Amino acid sequence: MDLVFALENFPRLLKATILTIELTFLSLFFGIFVGVFFAILRASKIKILFFISYYYSYIFRGTPLLVQIFIIYFGLAQLEWIRESFLWIVLKEPYSCAIIAFTLNTGAYSSEIFRSAFETINKGIVEAAESLGLNKINTFLRIKLPIAIRQSLPAYGNEMILMLKGTSLASTVTLLDLTGVAKHIISTTFRPVEVFIVAGSIYLIITFIIHNIIKFLEKKYSFNS
Amino acid sequence: MGLLAYGDTGWGDELFFATLMTIAVAAAAIFIGFFLAAIFASFKLSKIKILNLIGSFYTTVFRGVPELLVIYLFFFGGSGAVMYVARIFGYDGYIEVNAFLTGAFSIGIISGAYSTEVFRGAIQSINKGQFEASKVLGFKKKIYYYKIIIPQMLRLALPNISNVWQITLKDTSLISVTGLVEIMRQSYIAAGSTRDPLFFYSFAAVLYLFLTFLSMRIFNKLEKYYSRGY
Amino acid sequence: MKNIFKFFLSSIAALMIFFSSAQADSIRIGTEGAYPPWNAKDESGKLIGFEVELANWLCIYMGADCTLVEQDWDGMIPGLIMRKYDAIMAGMSITDERMKTINFSQGYADEVASLAVMKGSSLEGMDTPKAINLSTGGGDVKKALKTLTAALAGKTIGVQTATIHQNFLESGDVGSVKVRTYKTQDEVNLDLAAGRIDAALAAAVAFTDYAEKSGKPVVLVGPTFSGGAFGNGVGVGIRKDDTDLLKRFNNAINKARKNGKISELAIKWFGFDASM
């Protein structure tokens, strides 16, 4: 490995990492809301709401993220009524298109994680809360949600790492994230091994950090403490 | 529907063959992955520390680094490495690296990292007492593996293997960047040529949904088959 | 670390080895298939375009058996070096920078670049000469670049990645514009038509072809560019050590120029004689 070459390109890759972290963070942030929303719909007794949530999750988990981002970026831009509507302010930019695609994708996976977390909540706890006079909203916010969050931490940690990897697809819609810059350096210098090691290590370091944050949270909110 | 006509006037036949290509690459990749997983899962379960480390290194790297980067490594680096090896053996001529194999290997190595964890979990979950029991009953080691361990492993691992297959199937869309004509690549070409990306990418999504739906059905059947007697 | 990695890569690569039976006198030509009218694909998935037909004729003149190999643009030169094919015919301009890595035959067609915008853009009607040649320099060129710098300030301009057009925009000759790079020219055209970018820079024919086929009001603005960062025409890219093949291509191009084949194909695909 050519250390000098690797070091020369390190600052460029590090700078691109900022975009990668930004995309990951924002998508996960919005994705949690989308995920919780659809998990609630999924528990609904109203059939149509259930099916909306079911098919949303089915479609986004059953197709590759690359297809999703291409439909949102290249596909929607083709429609004149979209370009003339207020939606275009958001869809015009590759940055926001990427975040929308990632959010919808992680939202689908998260909704499944949260759904199964809600399902495993002991009914007795909920009944106890209600018998103590907590109303439905309070029972949800103060009892069900915290338990579900704790319950879904390990699976959600995995989803965070998958999303971090997923942001690499931003490079297919003109954004220069870590993978985009790495690709650019590879195709101009023809030195794949060095670039792979440097960029790959950066991804692994972020993965490591996420992994430890989740571990810390799991410990902090473990039921035994 | 003219866009999807079969033959020279539309993209129907191209997309049909591209779908077959997607299935072929995914199948090749998951088998390469199984092969690697068998090796690395045994590494991870081994009592030798260095093998443990190698096993962990493999799964950490290939589950933590984006698929696209791995693909670029093999696409741009694969050929160089092939020539490097060939030169050691004194061959200095033209070497062609097949796009299908490059794709199947890069996806296979990623798929293998997920399979390793699945295999490891499945092996660990098998009761040790069974080995002793079969020894007492005088079974040969081969019979013990084929008739007792592997069927049980399959039952326990099938839901997870189904997951790995879905991941692998979707990952094949990324090798379109290497020029292998599978669903995504063909849609990309068609979208460029007809200037109708919305239609072709949506159609690609439908094709993938069809494939994931179909494989789910198949895996459900298999799970039922291997769960008989439980 | 280096050795483990190399060993790992090599052992996998060893499995991937696929020795192509080196046929007598077969030439593989790499092209993109996404840069109409130079090279593109039709509905049946067949490669078409000026270079596809020209390649056929050159091979007939060389008496060689040719196959066209598709390759994405950003892997075009690596593909040649990796010997995935022996020659590049992909609308690739002859530039000093590329000459550091590969050789070029003599040019077979002259490509002028141009900016394009959607009709109604504020960039229409710039006061510049019809054409500027960056190699000649001079007051006219300086003045034109100054006009362009002022007009393009703060604008987002789309180009295909790793092209002379990207190099030019990043050279600072027209100030610091926002450059957005795309994998293919098709994508540049799509985003120009969608209004995501203010202007695009590519071969002038790439835009006129797109405007004609899509019916979108894409118009050329400003001067056409040649020389300097834009190189010296489009030629066949060949590996440095393949001097024999270079000679053969040069002879074939000479013949095709003299007998009018290049002009004929250029008029068919570009609508004007771009031979050189």
Domain ranges of chain B: 13-226
pLDDT at A163 over 80: yes
pLDDT at C153 over 60: yes
Note whether B52 and B161 are within 8 A (CB). no
C3 to chain B, minimum CA–CA distance in Å? 12
Query: Where does residue A62 rank: exposed (0-12), middle (13-18), buried (19+ CB within 10 A)?
Result: buried
Asked if C74 lies within 8 A of A197 by C-beta distance, the reply is no
On chain A, the residues whose CB falls within 8 A of the CB of B64 are 161, 165, 203-204, 207
- Number of B/C CB contacts below 8 angstroms equals 100
Q: Which of A63, A71, A179 sits opposite B198 (nearest CB)?
A: A71
On chain A, the residues whose CB falls within 8 A of the CB of C216 are none
Q: pLDDT tier at A172 (50, 70, 90 boundaries)?
A: very high
| Residues in chain B with pLDDT values less than 50 | none
Neighbouring-strand partners of residue C238: C87, C103
Q: Which of A72, A93, A174, A181 to mutate to test the interface with C (most CBs of C within 10 A)?
A: A174
| Residue C78 vs residue C236, higher pLDDT | C236
Percent of chain A with pLDDT over 90: 72
A204 to chain C, minimum CA–CA distance in Å? 16
Q: For residue A205, count other CB atoms closer than 10 A to its CB.
A: 12
Instruction: Tell me which architecture the domain covering B13-226 has in CATH.
Output: Orthogonal Bundle (1.10)
pLDDT at C1 over 60: no
The predicted pLDDT at position C19 comes to 42
Note whether B100 and B180 are within 8 A (CB). yes
Q: Which of B65, B72, B198 sits opposite A186 (nearest CB)?
A: B72
For B204, nearest residue in chain A (alpha carbons): A67
The predicted pLDDT at position B229 comes to 72
Nearest-CA neighbor of A58 among B171, B217, B172, B213? B213
Asked if C195 lies within 8 A of A197 by C-beta distance, the reply is no
Computed over every residue of chain C, the mean pLDDT equals 89
**What is the arrangement of strands in the sheet containing C218-226, beginning at the earlier edge strand?**
C131-133, C218-226, C113-118, C199-203, C156-160, C178-182
The predicted pLDDT at position A28 comes to 97
Neighbouring-strand partners of residue C116: C200, C220
The predicted pLDDT at position B146 comes to 78
pLDDT at C2 over 70: no
Kindly provide the ipTM of the predicted complex, given to two decimals: 0.91
Q: Which of A67, A75, A183 sits opposite B184 (nearest CB)?
A: A67
User: DSSP per residue over A148-205, as a string?
Assistant: HHHHHHHHHHHHHHHHHHHGGGGGGGT---HHHHHHHHHHHH--HHHHHHHHHHHHHH
**Residue A80: what are its φ and ψ, rounded to 5°?**
-65, -40
Kindly list the partner chains of chain C, i.e. chains with 3 or more CB atom pairs below 8 Å.
Answer: A, B
Asked if A190 lies within 8 A of C161 by C-beta distance, the reply is no
Q: Is B136 helix (H, G, I), strand (E, B) or coil?
A: helix
The predicted pLDDT at position C9 comes to 63
Which amino acid is residue C166, in one-letter code?
Answer: Q
Please list, in sequence order, all residues whose beta carbon lies within 8 angstroms of the beta carbon of residue C183, skipping any fewer than 6 positions away. A172, C72, C73, C74, C160, C161
Angle of CA points B34, B36, B42, to nearest 5°: 100
The predicted pLDDT at position C13 comes to 58
On chain B, the residues whose CB falls within 8 A of the CB of A168 are 66-69
The predicted pLDDT at position A224 comes to 59
The predicted pLDDT at position C15 comes to 54
Q: Average pLDDT for residues A103-121, to the nearest whole number?
A: 94
Asked if C5 lies within 8 A of A190 by C-beta distance, the reply is no
Q: Which of B50, B82, B176, B181 to mutate to test the interface with C (most CBs of C within 10 A)?
A: B82
- Residue C1 in contact with partner chain B when CB distance is under 8 A: no
Asked if B197 lies within 8 A of A75 by C-beta distance, the reply is yes
| Residue C103 vs residue B179, higher pLDDT | C103
The predicted pLDDT at position A41 comes to 95
Helical ranges in chain C per DSSP H: 2-16, 50-62, 76-81, 96-99, 138-152, 164-170, 185-194, 204-214, 243-258, 261-270
Asked if B98 lies within 8 A of C18 by C-beta distance, the reply is yes
For C191, nearest residue in chain B (alpha carbons): B195
Q: Which of A68, A166, A204 sits opposite B65 (nearest CB)?
A: A204
Interface of A with C (CB under 8 A): 1, 74, 77-78, 83, 88, 92-94, 172, 174, 183-184, 187-188, 190, 193, 197
Ordered by where they begin, the domains of chain A are: 3-220 (1.10.3720.10)
The predicted pLDDT at position B86 comes to 75
Q: pLDDT tier at C54 (50, 70, 90 boundaries)?
A: very high
Q: Average pLDDT for residues A16-25, to the nearest whole number?
A: 97
Q: Which of A88, A174, A184 sits opposite C182 (nearest CB)?
A: A174
For C80, nearest residue in chain A (alpha carbons): A190
Q: Which of C2, C75, C196 sits opposite A187 (nearest CB)?
A: C75
Asked if C82 lies within 8 A of B80 by C-beta distance, the reply is yes
Note whether A217 and A154 are within 8 A (CB). no
- Residue C212 in contact with partner chain B when CB distance is under 8 A: no
On chain C, the residues whose CB falls within 8 A of the CB of B65 are none
The predicted pLDDT at position B36 comes to 96
Chain C, window 179-208: residues with a beta carbon less than 8 angstroms from a chain B beta carbon: 184, 186-187, 189-190
**What is the arrangement of strands in the sheet containing C65-70, beginning at the earlier edge strand?**
C65-70, C26-31, C87-88, C237-238, C103-104
C-alpha count within 13 angstroms, C-beta hemisphere, residue B175 = 31
The pairing of beta strand C178-182 with beta strand C156-160:
parallel
The predicted pLDDT at position C25 comes to 75
The predicted pLDDT at position C18 comes to 44
On chain A, the residues whose CB falls within 8 A of the CB of C196 are 77, 92-94
Q: Which of B173, B196, B198 sits opposite A64 (nearest CB)?
A: B173
Kindly list the partner chains of chain B, i.e. chains with 3 or more CB atom pairs below 8 Å.
Answer: A, C
For A77, nearest residue in chain C (alpha carbons): C194
